[in-house]
Structure 1
Amino acid sequence: MRFSTIFSASAIAGAALGADHLVVVGNGSLKFEPDTITAAEGDTVTFKFWPKNHSVAQGAFAKPCEPMDNGFWSGYIPSSQGAAADTYMIEVKNKSTPIWFYCTQGQHCAGGMVGVINQAATGNKTIDAYKNASTAFAKAGVEPKSAAGTGGMIMANGTSMSNSSSSGNSNKTGAASTIQVSGLTFAGFLGVFAYNLL
């Protein structure tokens, strides 16, 4: 009986963990791959950066290549060869709100380096429309004023560190939120895990 209680608790804890969606940033091209992600609430999206120097920032559909107030921004994550040691992760908090993002480096956004999480199934707010609007953006992508805003965390060589510089913990849109983790430990027994929040 005790085993089934532990097993049930472990199953619930495992179900609470969402899926992680990997997005490759600039691997030989000015693209996010994939540029369209479908994620459930509680899922995470991890951005993996390739040469030379890229970023990911949250924008609004109506203003491509410009940062959204209180949106996330990874800051620049450079790599001279292969994937950077650092990745950037956000958590999806509201699957019904699209999360638009772009690269702030130079003309990358104007070159179509944009993406979306949970694009609406109907209507004209599509990744193609966002790309078309971004290519009309004549100047360099606009950088947010501070790295991360209220957005995500940098993970370096398996160690996570928050790079949020604001006092808020969640995005005003409810679409993505800060994952501020100082230590993350997974125990091997039946999926039981422990974590320490900042």
Structure 2
Amino acid sequence: MNKAPAIFLILFGLIALSKAAEHVVNVGTKEGKNRFEPYTVNAAVGDTVRFVWVSGKHSVIESDAKRACSASKAPNAFTTEVYEAPKEWVLDIKDASGQKWFYCGVPQHCANGMVGTILIDDGPSKTPPKTPTGPSPKTKTGFEPTPASSAQPFPFTIFIVIGSMLGGSLLTAGIFFLYRWNKKKSGKGDAESLTNIPNDRVIINDNEPNNEVIDNEIRTLDNEVYNNEQEAIRNIDSEVIQRLKNEMTQIIRQEIKNLK
């Protein structure tokens, strides 16, 4: 039964140590600069600040104001001798909330900015409770959006429209070429009927040209008519094809705009 108070004190000490935090301040830098790193420390009552000499010769002296290069007049103010790296010195934070300022006592170091501040809280270091930052749980509803990757009607509809227009254009072109072929055939038939007139039905008189001259004129006229007809057909073909292209382009653009 006598061991109970000792066990209680040990547990209390372990709890106190677990709540205390240690803060490390480098005295001098690896690059050889005369600085405290970090120069501002947030501590709580019960914490410790470990000063570690990294480079050069320095001291740590408490002052009464920020960036003041003179020792504090408080009876319990902390101060160290000038130490050369490597060296360590530990400061226990026992005072209530407030601020403690310190500087390096080596000449010109404080004037060149080698100062620091300890901000003291009145309680042990506390970690604020973490709030969940993840996305809120999803609520199931009767409607679920369809993934964007499954939206395929747009290209499929375009193919249908283009196929329909191509089919209609081919049908129109086929009818037109059939009409042209029939017209060409009928034109040749008329020319042949003119060239095949029996000689006994041709009235010849002494004042008119003979049959050979007439045949040559008919052939010449037939060739001119045929060439003119072919040129007209080619012009019509070009115009019709260009018109079909323009109409198809306009229809495709309009369908795409409507689908959007």
Tell me the TM-score normalized by structure 2. Answer: 0.39
Aligned to 2:38: 34
Map 1:7-46 onto structure 2 (within 5 A).
9-17=9-17, 18-27=20-29, 28=31, 29-46=33-50
Aligned to 2:64: 60
How far off is 1:88 after superposition? 1.2
Higher CA-based Rg: 2
User: Which sections of structure 1, spanning at least 5 residues, go unmatched?
Assistant: 121-198
How far off is 1:7 after superposition? 7.3
Q: Which has the higher helix share?
A: 2
3-state secondary structure, aligned to 2:98? coil
Aligned to 2:83: 77
C-alpha separation between the residues in 1 aligned to 2:104 and 2:48?
Answer: 19
C-alpha contact 2:62 2:101 (8 A) present in aligned 1: yes
How far off is 1:6 after superposition? 8.0
C-alpha separation between the residues in 2 aligned to 1:64 and 1:100?
Answer: 8
Q: 1:119 to 1:109 in 2, by over 3 A?
A: farther
C-alpha contact 1:59 1:68 (8 A) present in aligned 2: yes
C-alpha separation between the residues in 1 aligned to 2:7 and 2:120?
Answer: 37
Q: 1:12 to 1:117 in 2, by over 3 A?
A: same
C-alpha contact 1:36 1:119 (8 A) present in aligned 2: no
C-alpha separation between the residues in 2 aligned to 1:62 and 1:42?
Answer: 23
C-alpha separation between the residues in 1 aligned to 2:69 and 2:55?
Answer: 20
How far off is 1:95 after superposition? 4.2
C-alpha contact 2:21 2:48 (8 A) present in aligned 1: yes
Tell me the amino acid that sits aligned with residue 72 of structure 1. Answer: F
How large is the RMSD of aligned CA atoms in angstroms?
A: 2.6
C-alpha contact 1:35 1:116 (8 A) present in aligned 2: yes
C-alpha contact 2:101 2:117 (8 A) present in aligned 1: yes
C-alpha contact 2:44 2:93 (8 A) present in aligned 1: yes
User: Which sections of structure 2, spanning at least 5 residues, go unmatched?
Assistant: 122-260
Identity %: 34
Tell me the amino acid that sits aligned with residue 23 of structure 1. Answer: V
How far off is 1:50 after superposition? 2.0
Q: 1:100 to 1:65 in 2, by over 3 A?
A: same
Aligned to 1:171: none
**Greater relative contact order (Cα 8 A, min sep 6): structure 1 or 2?**
1
3-state secondary structure, aligned to 1:13? helix
Tell me the amino acid that sits aligned with residue 15 of structure 2. Answer: A
Q: 1:39 to 1:62 in 2, by over 3 A?
A: closer
Q: 1:36 to 1:72 in 2, by over 3 A?
A: same
Q: 1:63 to 1:49 in 2, by over 3 A?
A: closer
